[in-house]
Structure formats: C-alpha cells, structure tokens
Structure 1
Amino acid sequence: MRMRPTAVLAVALLALAGCSGDPEPTTSSTSAAPTSATPTPTPDVVVEGADAKLTAAVAKVYAGKKGITAKASLGTWKKEKVAVVTSGDDVTLAVGPQWKVVGGWWPSLDKPTSLGKGPRFVLVIGSDARTDKPLKGTRGDTLQVIGIDGKGGGGIMGMARDIWAPMPGGGKAKINAAFAYGGGKGQVQTVRAVTGLPIEGYVVTGFGGFRDIVNESGGLPMTVAKKVVLQGKTTVKAGKQILTGKFALAYARERKSLPDGDFGRSAHQTEMLLAAAVSARVQGVTIVPKEMSIVSKYAETDLSAADALTFVASFYKINPTKVGHATAKGGFGTSPDGQSIVVLDSASRNAFARFKDGRL
C-alpha cells in the first residue's frame, strides 16, 4: 500500500523516537523496577505531520499557550521545503528544512496578518516552448501580471503579446520577445518598463509544463461563457466544466477564431487564472503546498520559497469582490522594420496607474 507523505513522515519519526533513548541495561537482568514512573510532560503544541524542528518553530508562535493542536501540510518549491500549518482558523507558513516561520494569520492570538508588505506583483509567463523543448530562446507568449494590495484586494493584468516595448540590453521589439533576449529576468525588466509596476519575480512554463500542471492538479474547473473552436478542430463547449490539460492549453492559446484575436486570448488566460484561484480557495489553504510542489516540477522561477508561499497564501485573505482584471492593449501600428505591432492606448496606461496599489 502506498502511504501518503504525512504517514511516511509519521513512521519515520516513530522510528527515530525508538532509537533515541538510552540503551537497555545489560549488566543485570534482575534490576528492580522503579516504584514510581516520572510522568512524561505533555507538549504545549502538537503538530500532526511535522518533524521536531517544524513543531518547535510553530511552538514559538504560540509561546505561553497550552493545548495547541495543529496539522501540517507539506510540499516543496524547487529545492526548498514549504509548510502550511493550520490550527482552527490560524494559519502558519514556514519554509525548511531548518523551518522558519515566514508568515501567516492567527485570529486566536489577535496577531496581525503577516504576508509581506503590499502591494506585491508577480509575472506569470507562458513560453511558446513546445513539449519537451527547453525554454531558453523562446518567447513569452502569455504575460499576466498578478497583484495583491495587502488589504484584501488584488488584480490580474493581461499583456497583449505584440505591444511595442523596450528590450533588455537596448532597442525595441514586441513585448514577448524579451524572454528570448533575457529570459525570465529580462521579461520582468521589460514589463516593469512598460507598466511601471514593481514586479518582484516571475514563474514561467512551456506548453507541456502547463498541460501537466493542470492534469496533476485534477483539471481546471471553470465556466466558459461562449463556445470556442480551438485550433480549428477542438471544441470547448459553453458552460460549467473541468478542463483537462489538453483543453486548457488549447483554450489558453486560441486567438484566430476570436473576434478580437490576441486581445481575446489574453482575456481567456486571465479568466483561467481567476478560475484557478477560485478553485484553490474552495479547496482551502492546506492545498497550497501540494500545488506549489506540482508547479515547481514544471516551471522555472526566481521566487524564493518564502516569497512564493506568502504570495500564494495571500489569495486566501482576499475578498473576491475586490479583485479586478484588465488587458493591456491598444491600436495597431507598424514597427520601423515593418512588423505589425500594438501601440498602447491611454486606457491601458490609466489601468497601469490604477494597478500600482495592487488592485484593479
């Protein structure tokens, strides 16, 4: 029988406990038993699924409190361990393996929420790298800026891929070319220059990685407003449904059948991010380590475990009615070398200005 990670960890801790005590006496088999046993002290904080170091880190949060029981959900972000520890409505966020508390919220203690200083922004990049191909040298065809204001609000800003923009290292090109020139950091640099937003990092994946993330997460529940014929052959019907990785990828990529082309495609991608956020909220914050582990397998990023964990967890403190979305777009023009490009309009520039507080 395959055990869940929490069960495996519990067995390992029991094995360690069995080997950590003093050895049995060997000089005599007739030693008298003590007349009274010293009672084992009851720990103030018990965390199911946690090792001793994580339990100790959580115990510091509840210093002076007794009878605290909690449960840890564990995962990884690249090579760093992450944990979400819940006790009632309290949530403690920690990174390992030495386990340091990096954020959380604790209504039982009347402590303020700690999730980093807002506003915060992260760039989600969908590379046009084909399945099993490297990301290096590809374009950032999907560009979505996710923001949180630290006060219960947020927003998602899609970027049309043909926006004429400054490139890392100089010159101008379509905004999605920045990834080919400078990788994730170069793409962030360009989007910062265009939007004026202080983006702190990026997460990027290719076609195959996106598909696998959706599949391993159990599909993407969402409501499709209007039937879409994808890539000329695959049809996604209107209505509430769960998209598999194949259909989610096709839905995210389709533009030729849409009346507003690439602008409509960017809007579809924003809808998918919102649907993923809603699905995660329904499942609860304990799902975060598992989802981070899945994304970490198929994505590249410059976000540390602490930054990624506190950013993702922030969405569980957001009021959905305070999350807006927009697509940066504009009129069509021609570049000096004859390319068809998008020239940002005033509405998009105004949206950037509104978004600087982390909310649309």
Structure 2
Amino acid sequence: MRTSALAMTAVLLAGAAAGCSDDPGDASTTTPPPTAAPSTTAASSSPTAKARPAVTVEGADARLTAAVAKVYRGRKGVRAKATVGRWEGEKVAVVTSGQDVTLAVGPRWRVVGGWWPSLDRKADLGGTPRFVLVVGSDARPGKTLRGTRGDTLQVLGVDGKGGGGVMGLARDIWAPMPGGGHAKINAAFAYGGGEGQVGAVRKVTGLPVEGYVVTGFGGFEKIVDRSGGLPMRIARTVILQGGTKVLAGKRRLDGEHALAYARERKSLPDGDFGRSRHQGELLFAAAATARLEGIGSVPRTMTTVSKYADSDLTAKEALTFVASFYRIDPRKVGHTVAKGGFGTSPDGQSIVVLDAASRQAFRDFRDGRL
C-alpha cells in the first residue's frame, strides 16, 4: 500500500542537520592552482567572451568550472555556486544555477549527474530504481566494526519518478548467511561484513540493493552531534534504558538520545518491530531537516558522514543517490517494516518468520516506491 509521508533520505547519507560545519572540504586539485579561488570563469573563445563570460562558478577551481562549462556549452552569462566536500577520499561537488543542479566528482572534475531545466535536459541520477542499505552496527564506541552485528537495517529506495520509500527489516528475520547456512539476518554483518549483509538482504527481499553505509554506536552519535542535533516530533513519551525519558512533542535529540531512541525495544508494545519503526522515524526527521538546508548542503553532510561511517558506495553512487531524494514528491513516499510471526530455528533460537504482507511489500518495493 502506497502511503503519503515526508520525502526522505538517510540519517547516514544525507541526515546531517542545519549548521553542519565539520570539515566542509575544499575545492583544490592536485595540479595548479593549489587552492580554490572565490570564483572562476570559463571564457568562451568567441570575440564577445571578454565582455560576457560564458560560465562563472563561485567557490570552484578552474577544473570544476571547466567541467560545468561543458554542460552549458553555447550558453553565455551563466552564474553558478559550488559547494565541495569529500566521500571516502574522493571529492564531491554540487553546483547550482537557478533551478539547475550539476553533480561532479574530483579531483579531475567530471560531471556525474544532475538536472537542468534551463537546458530542457532530463535528470540524470544513475538510473532507476535504486536501493541502498543503511546499517547501524552494534559496535560500541571506540570498537571496530569487524565481527559486529547489524543492529539497524533500513533499505532506502527511489523510483526516479518522484517516489521513494524506506523499509525496516526486523533483525531476527531468518535468512541465508554468507558462505552458507541460515541465521538471524543481522548476523550476516558479522559473517561477511557490509557485502555479506547486503547479500543477505538481497536474498530475503529480492531487491537489487547496490551498496551499504554502516556506522557503529559512537559514529552515529558523532554524526548527530556534529549536525547540531536532530529535530523531530515524538508521537508519545518513551522511557529509555536506564530510566531516561524522551517526552512527546517537538524535540531536538542529541546523539546519545537519538541512539537510545533508535535502540529502545523493551518498553515498546511491539518490541523489535517498534524499534524498527522508531529508526524509520529518525530517517524521516533527518530527511526533513536536510531538505530544508537545500541540495547545496549535501557535500558538507557527506564529508561528516564519511568520517564516521564505512561504505562501499563510490563518490558517484553516493552523490547521485543522495541527490535523488531532492527530486521526491512527499506524497509519493512510504515507510514500512518487514516483520512476521515468531518461530524457532533448528538450533532453538527465537526467530521472525516473514508473513505474507511483508513478502508482498518486497514485491511492491521493487519499483523503488512504497
């Protein structure tokens, strides 16, 4: 069933909130000029170039400006603004000019996507539908992710037609494991890392998940805190582990309370299913904040997330996927949790056996929208 909801992204991919100032990156290249100039102009070879520059990009170096100029070849007087950041060691940039958005990856800048209504060009965001797995590992602060389990499993999807969705997966779903055998789905991360977890999710859901982003408890807290907290509306008061309360109403959660809200299950009437629902609420709240900041905030956000999370997504894949959420119609976005009844595994564990409604949700989500 398709439901209306806030357009979303992920607290890991584009969830850094207002005021994200943690290492905004730079626009320098490995060749002269060594640092970004306040603005750079790509001049046309025509006789009128000196009187009217072809493309001027504030905040870009010569290479990035030249890459953007190729998009507007034949146009004169184009003025744009660039924001630059990093993802897994690669540079990323978002260049805006009016309603036009150009996405580029450096350091030898090349355009990898965007949308350009002024040129009557269709959006280019890496094909559709697209799915990415967001994993919250149960690694404690200061500990490695290796050998830990996927405490949070959320699949984000976009259909390229203005729709999208986020699907939470109960962590006790019985699933095939990397290398053979079966176990609870969150154990796949311990057996095979991010790739192993993606593989298990693909087999259970049938969705062509292209990659993952994962962080531990400490990384999650730092992402939220570096973002200035996460503003959201709490539907009802929740008593967290240790007796701390998150009161109903509008709240700005810091990293510690956002993590506790995402992990709480014992006080919820539907336990782990309710926890997965809370995790989805956090994603929605992060999305709303990110959208208010605008597409230009994406490179700074990606820089922050890249510091405290691991991913197998390339800069091109991550940048185009995150940007695609800024093309979503809030009325065409849905959220669900894959769940089922309780059963017993062959070795005596309590597990979740997927129900018919969840299997149907997998089929509905194959077009990238819920």
Does TM, normalized by the shorter one, top 0.5?
Answer: yes
- Corresponding position of 2:341: 331
C-alpha deviation, 1:232, in angstroms: 3.4
What SS does the aligned partner of 1:356 have? helix
- After the TM superposition, which residues 181-220 of structure 1 pair with which residues of structure 2 at under 5 Å, given as runs? 181-220=191-230
- Corresponding position of 1:224: 234
Question: For 1:57, which of 52, 57, 67 is the aligned residue?
Answer: 67
- Corresponding position of 1:117: 127
**Cα-to-partner distance string for 1:160-208 (whole Å, 9 max, x where unaligned):** 0000111010000000000000000000000000000000000000000
Distance 2:35 2:348 in 1: 64
C-alpha deviation, 1:242, in angstroms: 1.1
> 1:254/1:112 Cα in 2 relative to 1: closer, same or farther (>3 Å)?
same
Work out whether residues 27 and 59 of structure 2, in 8 Å CA contact, stay in contact via their aligned partners in 1: no
Distance 2:172 2:290 in 1: 31
> 1:125/1:50 Cα in 2 relative to 1: closer, same or farther (>3 Å)?
same
Matched, 1:261 2:271: yes
Matched, 1:239 2:223: no
C-alpha deviation, 1:14, in angstroms: 5.7
- After the TM superposition, which residues 300-339 of structure 1 pair with which residues of structure 2 at under 5 Å, given as runs? 300-339=310-349
Work out whether residues 6 and 49 of structure 1, in 8 Å CA contact, stay in contact via their aligned partners in 2: no
- Corresponding position of 1:275: 285
Equivalent residues, number: 336
Distance 1:68 1:53 in 2: 16
- Corresponding position of 1:75: 85
Where do 5+ consecutive residues of structure 1 fail to align? 18-38
- Corresponding position of 1:154: 164
> 1:169/1:6 Cα in 2 relative to 1: closer, same or farther (>3 Å)?
closer
> 1:62/1:149 Cα in 2 relative to 1: closer, same or farther (>3 Å)?
same
C-alpha deviation, 1:5, in angstroms: 6.0
- Corresponding position of 1:36: none
Distance 1:8 1:98 in 2: 11
**Cα-to-partner distance string for 1:68-105 (whole Å, 9 max, x where unaligned):** 01000010001100000001111000000001101111
Structure showing greater radius of gyration is 1
- Corresponding position of 2:117: 107
Work out whether residues 24 and 85 of structure 2, in 8 Å CA contact, stay in contact via their aligned partners in 1: no
Identity %: 70
**Cα-to-partner distance string for 1:276-307 (whole Å, 9 max, x where unaligned):** 11111111000100110010000110000000
Work out whether residues 82 and 94 of structure 2, in 8 Å CA contact, stay in contact via their aligned partners in 1: yes
Work out whether residues 49 and 71 of structure 1, in 8 Å CA contact, stay in contact via their aligned partners in 2: yes
- Corresponding position of 2:14: none
> 1:260/1:5 Cα in 2 relative to 1: closer, same or farther (>3 Å)?
closer
What SS does the aligned partner of 1:135 have? coil
* AA aligned opposite 1:217: S
* AA aligned opposite 1:272: L
> 1:44/1:8 Cα in 2 relative to 1: closer, same or farther (>3 Å)?
closer
**Cα-to-partner distance string for 1:111-140 (whole Å, 9 max, x where unaligned):** 101111110000000000000100000000
- Corresponding position of 1:179: 189
- Corresponding position of 2:309: 299
Does 186-195 or 215-224 show the bigger shift?
Answer: 215-224
Question: For 2:359, which of 346, 349, 352 is the aligned residue?
Answer: 349
C-alpha deviation, 1:12, in angstroms: 3.8
What SS does the aligned partner of 2:75 have? coil
C-alpha deviation, 1:40, in angstroms: 5.0
Question: For 1:93, which of 86, 103, 114 is the aligned residue?
Answer: 103
- Corresponding position of 1:20: none
Where do 5+ consecutive residues of structure 2 fail to align? 1-20, 41-48
Q: Using structure 1 for the length normalisation, give the TM-score.
A: 0.90
> 1:117/1:8 Cα in 2 relative to 1: closer, same or farther (>3 Å)?
closer
* AA aligned opposite 1:334: T
What SS does the aligned partner of 2:132 have? strand
Looking at both structures, which has the greater relative contact order when contacts are Cα pairs under 8 Å and sequence separation is at least 6? 2
What SS does the aligned partner of 1:232 have? helix
Distance 2:50 2:337 in 1: 61
Distance 1:224 1:161 in 2: 23
Work out whether residues 217 and 259 of structure 2, in 8 Å CA contact, stay in contact via their aligned partners in 1: yes
> 1:111/1:184 Cα in 2 relative to 1: closer, same or farther (>3 Å)?
same
Distance 1:194 1:14 in 2: 50
What SS does the aligned partner of 1:190 have? helix
- Corresponding position of 2:10: none
Q: Using structure 2 for the length normalisation, give the TM-score.
A: 0.88
> 1:297/1:7 Cα in 2 relative to 1: closer, same or farther (>3 Å)?
closer
